[in-house]
Amino acid sequence: MNLEELEQIAKNVHQETAKYDHEVNVCMDLACASQGADKLRATIVEAAKGSDKKVLVRRTGCMGPCSSGPLVRVDPEDTLYHHVQFTHAEAIVAKLGDGPVPELQCDLNEHFDKQVRVVLENAGHIDPEKIDDYIARDGYKALLTALLEMTPNGVVHRITESGLRGRGGGGYPTGLKWSTVAKASGDVKYVVCNGDEGDPGAFMDRSVMEGDPHRVIEGMAIAAYGVGASKGFIYVRAEYPVAVARLTTALREARRRGLLGNGISGTAFNFDIEIRLGAGAFVCGEETALLASIEGRRGTPKPRPPYPAVSGLWGKPTLINNVETYANIAPIMRNGGKWFFNMGSEHSKGTKVFALTGRITHTGLIEVPLGIKLREIIEDIGGGVPGGHKLKAVQTGGPSGGCIPADMLHLGVSYDALMAAGSIMGSGGMIVMDDTSCMVNVARFFIEFCMTESCGKCIPCRAGTAQMFTLLSRICRGTGTMEELELLEELCDTVKSASLCGLGQTAPNPVLSTLKYFRSEYIEHIVHKRCPAGVCSMQIPVAAEPVVEVLA
């Protein structure tokens, strides 16, 4: 495969689609599929056959506003229909080329206007199981250009120049990581993609892997060329069977096209990718635990240094990046580092995909330039809190993140600003909470998550999160005391500072941030035995709990 052949494929696809007058794209992502998108698509195909119009019906990945699903987009008019049922199929086909179906038309201009799509540029436009669709949208051009016209050094330099930072949550400069692996000595190096998205309420990586799998593969291949690796692994959690199936298909097609394998595009560059499945452990999203899991060992983290860049898989230099990081690579290579650098805020460049969920009108997948105000995300893109309720807090970063109170909506979304506010960017979960959420209960929920997901290797995380959960449960039941609150804060400090890996080090964040901004709710629970949001059911103790005297 060379650039001319690539262009020929793109040309063929364009010629093929030009035969049709209309395109009906049906979103087949999980949210839409669960509401009957499959049947809808079949009915549209039937309806199109029955009419004399030339209609191309395509299944696509996630279009974004999942709460409005099932979604259908009609091209070339670019009309978006929402809440489409299979009964609407006839009407949609009948109206093609004759204006939109008014009762289905989805007016989400505000929702889309503030978004910038880099990672999701193909989502909703291509059939994820067809490599040609991806190639027709400039796919694999970046890889072949890099292989044929650039040195590995040049590739790393371009990524460094773009200012891209790791999208898995840590925000480590990607270019720096790549150059470290490139400089590490060793004849065998590995490239690993972390697709073990485990934060509750986060589904960005799933949507990318399901909606545009080739983008991840291309990003990894470019990375492999940059750092000098010839073998890659995609670590996907087994709870994402569709993502696994799409990636498997994509890998097979890429191999068949000669975009993976030996001597890619006639160069000396060899690269292939294997998929490894996670077995349902949140901690395996931590890089050293993930590598242990790929090696077939118990998924527990190791102290760093040595970092994977120096000693990773089977002791070899290993580059490990998140799905979204790899998804950013091809556009950066195509458009240049400067293009990417000019998007975003001072220290956080580019765009970020967020999974917007919780008490918000338009839940779904959004992609925004970094530095955007939280208010713009909540009010303009998300459409605000429904049902006349009042916004209370925005939770970012999953169980490792924190809650940002409603009066801090002026905050620009960037790695540093969120960190300063006591939360983290994380992988991109954004959960909106209104006045029906009890913040103590929220903290308890996340601590319970961390407690059950702790691997049990280091004591602060294993025993500390369990103790924190006990103390928070007592507060939620109305049996907590002020002394215990003090103890809880001390535990937070110990677990945060003394834990072995990121899971433990960030586990106290939900507690710390709610204590910082919503301390009065804790006091209300403890002193007045009352839950302001009415979530916790208080048990007023009948008698003081018996004191268990144990000699240590």
Partner 1 sequence: MNDAVEVKTLIIDGQEVSALRSQTILEVARENGIDIPTLCHLDGLSDVGACRMCLVEIKGSNKLLPACVATVFEGMEVSTRTERLQKYRRNILEMLFAERNHICSVCVSNGHCELQSLAQDQGLTHVRLPYRNPDLPVDASHERFTLDQNRCILCTRCVRVCAEVEGAHVWDVMGRGINSMVITDLHEKWGSSTCTRCGKCVQVCPTGALFDKSKIGSDHPKYPDFLLNLNLMREAQ
Reading the block at residue 139, the tokens are 């796919």
In the bound complex, what is the minimum distance in angstroms from residue 305's beta carbon to partner 1? 8
Taking the least distance from each CB to partner 1, the nearer of 266 and 315 is 315
In the bound complex, what is the minimum distance in angstroms from residue 507's beta carbon to partner 1? 11
Buried b (16+ CB within 10 A) or exposed e, 164-193: bbbbbbbbbbbbebbbbbbebebeebbbbb
HEC-encoded secondary structure of 113-153: HCCCCCCCCCCCCCCCCCHHHHHHCCCCHHHHHHHHHCCHH
Taking the least distance from each CB to partner 1, the nearer of 424 and 451 is 451
In the bound complex, what is the minimum distance in angstroms from residue 154's beta carbon to partner 1? 27
In the bound complex, what is the minimum distance in angstroms from residue 44's beta carbon to partner 1? 46
Taking the least distance from each CB to partner 1, the nearer of 349 and 444 is 444
Taking the least distance from each CB to partner 1, the nearer of 12 and 497 is 497
Neighbours of 99 (CB within 10 A): 10
In the bound complex, what is the minimum distance in angstroms from residue 398's beta carbon to partner 1? 17
Q: How far apart are CA 404 and CA 456, in angstroms?
A: 29
Reading the block at residue 395, the tokens are 């939770």
Taking the least distance from each CB to partner 1, the nearer of 157 and 302 is 302
In the bound complex, what is the minimum distance in angstroms from residue 303's beta carbon to partner 1? 4
In the bound complex, what is the minimum distance in angstroms from residue 549's beta carbon to partner 1? 10
Neighbours of 486 (CB within 10 A): 10
HEC-encoded secondary structure of 490-501: HHHHHHHHHCCC
Taking the least distance from each CB to partner 1, the nearer of 268 and 551 is 551
In the bound complex, what is the minimum distance in angstroms from residue 92's beta carbon to partner 1? 49
Taking the least distance from each CB to partner 1, the nearer of 363 and 454 is 454
> Would you put residue 549 in left (φ > 0), alpha (ψ -120 to 50) or beta?
beta
- Torsion over CA: 38, 44, 47, 49 (sign): negative
In the bound complex, what is the minimum distance in angstroms from residue 283's beta carbon to partner 1? 8
Give the position of tokens 């990672």. 119
In the bound complex, what is the minimum distance in angstroms from residue 495's beta carbon to partner 1? 9
Q: What type of residue is 509?
A: N
| Terminal CA-CA length for the chain | 71
Taking the least distance from each CB to partner 1, the nearer of 3 and 419 is 419
The footprint of partner 1 (CB under 8 A) covers 281, 283, 298, 302-303, 305, 451-460, 462-467, 470-471, 487, 490-491, 494, 497-500, 548, 550-552
Contact 207, 365 (CB under 8 A): yes
Strand, coil or helix: 394: strand
Phi, psi of 128 (to 5 degrees): -65, -15
**Got the DSSP string for 15-80?**
HHHHT-SEEEEEE-SHHHHTTTHHHHHHHHHHHHHHSSS-EEEEEES--S-GGG-S-EEEETTTEE
In the bound complex, what is the minimum distance in angstroms from residue 195's beta carbon to partner 1? 21
Taking the least distance from each CB to partner 1, the nearer of 42 and 487 is 487
In the bound complex, what is the minimum distance in angstroms from residue 470's beta carbon to partner 1? 6
Closest CA to 237 of 197, 293, 291: 197
Q: How far apart are CA 418 and CA 430, in angstroms?
A: 12
| Sequence-distant (≥ 6) Cβ neighbours of residue 88 within 8 angstroms | 40, 81, 101, 104
Taking the least distance from each CB to partner 1, the nearer of 1 and 419 is 419
Closest CA to 290 of 306, 309, 273, 312: 312
Taking the least distance from each CB to partner 1, the nearer of 329 and 455 is 455
Q: How far apart are CA 60 and CA 138, in angstroms?
A: 17
Closest CA to 130 of 290, 278, 17: 17
Taking the least distance from each CB to partner 1, the nearer of 1 and 277 is 277
